Amino acid sequence: MDAEQLVDVPLTAEELRDAWPALSWEERIEGFHRLVRAEADDFFLELPPADEAALLLALPPPERRLWIRLLAPDDAADVIQDTPEEERPRLIELLDPVARREVTALLAYAEDAAGGLMSPRFARLRPEMTVDEAIRYLRRQAREQAETIYYAYVLDPDQKLVGVVSFRDLLTAPPDRRIADLMKREVVSVPDTLDQEAVARIMAHEDVNAIPVVDGQGRMQGIVTVDDVVDVVQQEATEDIQKIGGMEALDAPYLDTGFLAMVKKRAGWLAALFIGEMFTATAMAGFEDEIGRAVVLALFVPLIISSGGNSGSQASTLVIRAMALGEVAVRDALRVARREVLSGLALGLILAIIGSLRIFAWQGLFGTYGPRTPSIALTVASSLVLVVTWGTLMGSMLPMLIRRLGFDPASASAPFIATLVDVCGIVIYFTAARLILGL
């Protein structure tokens, strides 16, 4: 739906949602104002934080208070973090006093830490309460402030986490039983400084819908819920995929990223890869005499280097993803290396057989390679085994080396590894040709 249609017909949230990516911000504001209030509330809450922030700043100042107060404290903090520094104090002032304190506390944490991800509103109980008292108290909390009711967390007078109670246990327990006798004392929690990816892994491992966040003294600060983790997993996976593709991660959705920003994100890595490929040409120039004495060797250069690059890309993708999921760590480097060397040898042997069959078939059908066909086939086959093995080894080890240096292993992108293996593949191929063909 375009802007003219928005003016001519009544607008629903579904129609605006479909048209949203293609509209300018003037058209988005116009469409948003045409929604009925109930639909506008839901539509606003469904937007990503970056769009919520841009929409708030585009609305007239009197309307901003209404919409920012619709957000939970953790969502409001995410939105404020997506606004320019000079706008943040004005938006914080629009919150009610309680929410303002909560949001200010959340903004003190790093955006990608558990403290920046958590909600400070959770169901809390005291250990001396009875079950009947606890249920009445939780009913009031649910109406007034608790963002979500998955579990009730038991805190001592110092606000330290001492236990957790499920609502199933609360509803089935005798009314006069004490919470201290009912609660589970072994509670999995995360520190408020823990990285959000680690929080997501812990929640997946523990299979919980919410996990408590505590400070350095063990005082409970909030909870991270499963919906927050879903957003984290999607965000981190998107960043990793973009980096693996050989570019910097985008800061906004694809269609919301400006032309110059898109070029900037892609140009650096592309230029680096292009410079890397220049070394391939340099390597080939070093074997100019060998190519001149056996021109047929040049026919197999794309075959050799593409096989090594593809095997390296496969290995790097597998290892980077395994590291992201916590399945593989730097300490497993030797195990991974042994596994990939064996895999590379097996995969290289398969390609070597296919390549040799192709050479003998073309010689039998067309007489393409002449009397040196067996030597050419042996050169190609041995090169494929070596190059594919080298590619798998480099593809698996580079991400671990980069992690060891303290950087994101996704930076060992598939194109980067392919470029590196291309250069090495040329050297391996023509060295094998020199030894086998006696060039």
Domain membership flag for residue 118 = no
Same domain, 205 and 299: no
Same domain, 279 and 424: yes
Same domain, 40 and 93: yes
Which residue, 62, 81, 111, sits at the end of a domain? 111
Same domain, 129 and 204: yes
Rounded Cα distance between 297 and 385, Å, is 17
Domain membership flag for residue 309 = yes
Q: Which amino acid is at 231?
A: D
Count of helices and strands (H, E) across the chain: 21, 6
Q: Which amino acid is at 3?
A: A
Q: Where are the beta strands (DSSP E) in 63-179?
A: 124-125, 151-155, 161-166
Show Cβ contacts of residue 400 under 8 Å, excluding neighbours closer than 6 positions.
319, 323, 330, 333, 336, 409
pLDDT of residue 5: 47
**Whether 312 contacts 391, CB under 8 Å:** yes
CATH of the domain at 209: 3.10.580.10
Domain membership flag for residue 116 = no
Which residue, 48, 82, 111, sits at the end of a domain? 111
CATH of the domain at 89: 1.25.60.10
pTM over 0.75: no
pLDDT of residue 274: 80
Same domain, 149 and 104: no
Same domain, 272 and 417: yes
Domains of the chain: total: 3
Domain membership flag for residue 219 = yes
pLDDT of residue 25: 86
Domain membership flag for residue 206 = yes
pLDDT of residue 144: 61
Domain membership flag for residue 162 = yes
Domain membership flag for residue 292 = yes
Same domain, 273 and 412: yes
Same domain, 264 and 380: yes
Same domain, 230 and 302: no
The set of long-range contacts for 39-42, using a CB threshold of 8 Å and a minimum separation of 24, is 39/12, 39/13, 40/13, 41/70, 42/13
Same domain, 272 and 404: yes
User: Mind listing the pLDDT tens digit of every residue in the chain (439 residues)?
Assistant: 444 444 445 688 999 998 898 888 888 999 999 998 889 999 999 998 889 999 999 998 889 999 999 998 989 999 999 899 999 999 999 999 989 999 999 999 988 899 999 989 898 999 999 999 999 988 887 766 655 667 899 999 999 999 999 888 898 999 999 999 999 999 999 999 999 888 988 998 898 889 999 999 989 999 998 888 887 778 777 887 887 777 888 877 777 788 888 888 888 877 877 887 788 778 888 888 878 777 888 889 999 999 998 999 899 989 988 988 788 999 999 999 999 999 999 999 999 999 999 999 999 998 988 889 999 999 999 999 999 999 999 999 999 999 998 888 877 666 778 788 888 999 999 999 999 988 6
**Structural domain of 235:** 124-242
Same domain, 368 and 267: yes
Same domain, 425 and 365: yes
